[in-house]
Structure 1
Amino acid sequence: RTLPLAIYSAVAAGDMKEAGDYVLILVVFSFFAVMCIDVLGGKK
């Protein structure tokens, strides 16, 4: 099960706490992925 599907399933089940936790994980992961791309990509 992918993270977006887990978020959808949690919202559909009415479990906003679990959905919020998944969203937080997704946002933090995305932030670090963008930061890593910026650092590893180098500045021109």
Structure 2
Amino acid sequence: MLPTYSKEKHMVEFYHHKLEHSQNWIERLAIISLIQLCHW
């Protein structure tokens, strides 16, 4: 496995976790955008 991939995967998991606990819809939108960029 590539180290860049595992780091990216860790970031996505971190943002998913943050998203679950976020009450701010603007923050949620920003996180969703970041996740989509990571998956591109």
TM-score (norm 2): 0.51
Percent pairwise identity = 13
Higher relative contact order (CA 8 A, sep 6+): 2
TM-score (norm 1): 0.47
Structure 1 residue runs without a partner (length 5+): 1-15
Structure 2 residue runs without a partner (length 5+): 24-40
The alignment yields a C-alpha RMSD, in angstroms, of: 1.4
Runs in 1 of length 4+ with deviation above 6 angstroms? none
Which structure is larger by alpha-carbon Rg, 1 or 2?
Answer: 1
Count of aligned pairs between the two proteins: 23
